[in-house]
Amino acid sequence: MSPQQRRVQLDGLLIVDKPAGITSHDVVERVRRLSRQRRVGHAGTLDPLATGVLVLGLGRTTRLLEYMASHDKRYWATVRLGVSTTTYDAEGEITAHYEGPWPSLDAVEAALEEFVGEIEQRPPAFSAIKRGGERLYKKARRGEQVDIAPRRVIVHTLRLMSYVPPTLHLEITCSKGTYIRSLAHDLGQVLGTGAHLAALRRMASGPFTLDDAHTLEELDTAARARRLHELLRPPDAGLVNLLAIDISPEQARRVAHGQPVSGPPPTTPGQMARIRLNGRLLAVAEYDERRGAWQPRKVFVSVHEVNPAPKRGHTPT
């Protein structure tokens, strides 16, 4: 292998504008090939039908993705009234037709209000949720009946952008775990027409929007020019929900050894903290109430980096 072909370690976040027709795992595999990295993961999937913001982590940054999966999401959704499907979206088999009359604008707006706030939502049978170690969609494809318990999710905003029967365009901001497919299906049940999700585009995930995202074609071009690293965001750019604590070099040495450091307590129960030195992420820490200090849980700095070897001829005091 030539020096130009040697694998270069990449650490950071890559924000991708996922196209329709492929899975999130397909995007991960493509980035693995382009970056020559084995460690690539995502912070929340999109269905094959959906497009938009997909947050990937490369290298050591994969260890941070669990803290980004809880980000709120923002979507543009197209809901088609009058047709119900097995998957609650346009890819499923049709289970029911409704020909009209279509509900009024007032009726649609009143129905939408029922889905704002903390609600109970039952995930689709065709989903990636595991039951007995197997994805539910595999059971559903075999025709098995699976009882799925409803979940509590939060729909922060649900705005009707347009309504030309039988099609609605919605803007939705919601919590982790919200199934827009289920929302479309349930809306159809409330309206008495049936409905499915015809199209979905994720506009934002946490602090990242489509303005931050790169198409697969842009990734291909950057990889061929060996400039993929220029598209990466810093590893902690997605940790806006974690408390930021800046520490001294002396405290940094403690963190490198996995030892707790002092700092302000969390602002919300269970909140984690990102420990930084001069803007660089050193660790993610959890607050120890007993000690009144932050205990590192994931450390991203080595002892050598905060205790550099002395220069030749210099004897440390």
- Residues with catalytic roles: 47
State the Cα–Cα distance between residues 49 and 46, nearest whole angstrom. Answer: 8
Give the single-character DSSP code of 225.
T
**Which of 23, 70, 15, 48 shows the shortest CA–CA distance to 239?**
70
Give the single-character DSSP code of 190.
H
**Which of 234, 303, 239, 301 shows the shortest CA–CA distance to 274?**
239
Query: The tokens of 234 are what?
Result: 């810093």
Contact 171, 152 (CB under 8 A): no
**Which of 102, 25, 104, 10 shows the shortest CA–CA distance to 57?**
10
Look at residue 314 and give its three-state secondary structure.
coil
The answer to whether the bond into 296 is cis (omega within 30° of 0) is no
* Cβ neighbours for 277, distance < 8 A, ≥ 6 positions apart: 246, 247, 248, 249, 251, 252, 301, 306
* Cβ neighbours for 159, distance < 8 A, ≥ 6 positions apart: 170, 171, 172
CA contacts within 13 A on the Cβ side of 30: 18
State the Cα–Cα distance between residues 178 and 50, nearest whole angstrom. Answer: 14
Contact 141, 125 (CB under 8 A): no
* Cβ neighbours for 312, distance < 8 A, ≥ 6 positions apart: none
Q: Amino acid letter at 161?
A: M
